[in-house]
Amino acid sequence: MKIRAAVLEEFGAPLVVQEIDLAEPKAGEVLVRLVACGVCHTDLYTASGADPSGYSPTVLGHEGAGVVERVGDGVSSVSPGDHVVTLFSPQCRECAHCRDPRTNLCLAIREQQNLGYLPDGTTRLSRDGEPIRHFMGTSTFAEYTVMPEIALAKVNRDAPLDHACLFACGLSTGLGAAINTAKVEPGTTCVVFGAGMVGLGAVAGCRLQGAERIVCVDLSEQRLELARGQGATDLLVGGPDVVARIVELTGGFGADYTFEATGNVAVMRQAVESARMGWGLATVCGVAGRGETLDVVPRYLITGRRVAGSSFGGVKGRDGVPQLVDRWLAGEIDVDPFVSHTLTLDDVNEGFELMEQQAGIRSVIAFG
């Protein structure tokens, strides 16, 4: 079938919206009609050429939600008409990692997905007979996409898909960092560095876990006010002295849990140094630039602080995303403030520009 999609032709250049070909789903695959897709920093990171594992041509986009149109042989967990959220982090439910509660990093299709292919090592996207690679196994900057069944989360049909798409990446990453990775305990003190999509999700996650005090740190006072709406009790404008201010706020000890959601290695270090002596846990969610390293003074670790990394918030997608969506529908999570701009597919490059300007939280592409 012919579809319109935003293709990354050349790193550092605008995406090109054009007509390409999409083949039918094969065994274990699903054809999805996209209804909405968030424009995420990871898409911009790859488009810029900063990602050492990036490739082109490819159809970017991974924060999608849509409706199942057709299924390939052997598909049993979704049917035509089902509403789904795309998962760049799949869940096969069979590999060693899927069976272990300690991780969500499914091993089933990771190798081919990282190369831009579907599980059989081929693509369903092409142009004039030449293959176009998939991005993160999703390629949601398109009217339709073909994806593995194990990379789709079936969600409640009552969930508006133009908001549900945020659970495909940023929002679940932040919520899950607090709920799954850190397992924040009631009555504790948390500090979240960064009030973008992931950081605001972490603030909401800390609130859902019953944290007594939630400090949010960001350079933007406007974003900090959004954090207050998600449950932050204290707001701090970031800077080189923020660790000292956090330690002072917490009686000289530091916070029980800290979360980094900026991708800035200097802020990651602040998250570690702001964690409480004795048992403080710093959870790193942000993606640092190529070749950057985290510089931590060993004394902070020797005196009881721990550091954890979190990918997609530790959420096992097919099981966990529907549960988070249900909590949103039940009124526990306020998603409306996160959608700051609604764009068309032709405006996808504007979405990148808005992100670079830090205008709003998330631009969402709405398909007709």
Positions marked catalytic: 40-42, 62-63, 92, 95, 98, 106, 110, 169, 362
Both tokens of 227, joined, read 């954090």
Spatial distance between the Cα atoms of 150 and 64, rounded to a whole number of angstroms: 15
Both tokens of 131, joined, read 């293959």
Q: Are 171 and 338 in contact (CB under 8 A)?
A: yes
Spatial distance between the Cα atoms of 245 and 276, rounded to a whole number of angstroms: 13
Q: Are 148 and 137 in contact (CB under 8 A)?
A: yes
Q: How far is CA 64 from CA 28, 222, 249, in A?
A: 19, 27, 39
Selection from 157, 152, 145 nearest residue 33 by Cα: 145
Both tokens of 88, joined, read 């760049």
Torsion of CA 264, 269, 271, 272, to 10 degrees: 150
Q: Are 137 and 111 in contact (CB under 8 A)?
A: no
Spatial distance between the Cα atoms of 25 and 143, rounded to a whole number of angstroms: 15
Spatial distance between the Cα atoms of 329 and 160, rounded to a whole number of angstroms: 10
Spatial distance between the Cα atoms of 64 and 87, rounded to a whole number of angstroms: 8
